[in-house]
Structure 1
């Protein structure tokens, strides 16, 4: 079985700093016209915007993880499918941040092997399931979040990532505007 990591359902949030390039050009032009601190003021504002954006992305990721976990626990495994929840999928919903901190991809990382280990652990009476927060490096691994989200021939789809992402993103636009307003005051 080939690794299906790329087919996993994911919710992505990012902040583009592209408009700041226009502001940099204006600041450069103003500096050339005799306003020497225009570039310095721009740089300070740009750094504040980047810092606020990174915090915003971290908070958005945390909100998405919480919402996806809540939806997964409420609805996944409660249908007539053969899926038996172990908590592994819910606990594996993980944010993966870009190197610059301005983009995040929230993805469930539980594999069928992880779920089987969890079932065995539960059978032995343990209540705590190992948290998964990194993709498997194995070539032959099956991430079952895609089967739950999109369904299979044998299993009805039980989406939890898309609805959680839609709910979180509905709140984020106004929050981002407010975040930038406060950062640049």
Structure 2
């Protein structure tokens, strides 16, 4: 997360997901992947998305949801602006649910095909995964399919259209 993006519309979607997960009984923690010069404004980010700043480090728990916020998104290799599939799969072993902002899509590629490839990369790592597909794309990951099914049902019950969700199932 770069301070130049603080307060954009993506942050409002992040806040929505953090609040909904908290309402579902998750302790939401964050890895903000800070980049740029924050000059002591890190607390502003946490306040905006609705979690406490001390929620950056957490012991693994059956009811934690880790929010990972790279500047750009998800890809095979990590960088200061990207989180890797391996990192997400590793975190899914530590937390009940992991979710990440993902705007890492080529302008030439068809987004649905790119999302399917990314979901497949996670199923290859024994994870269940689901995209929320909108102007702000978010990737949700868990080692338990039931968690994602319940989460999707919750979002649909709130009024989000079912066609906004694209799912991938873990391979045995």
Q: TM-score, normalised by structure 2?
A: 0.26
Which structure is higher in strand share? Answer: 2
- Of structures 1 and 2, the one with the larger relative CO (CA 8 A, separation 6+) is 1
Q: TM-score, normalised by structure 1?
A: 0.25
Which structure is higher in helix share? Answer: 1
Which of the pair has more CA radius of gyration?
1
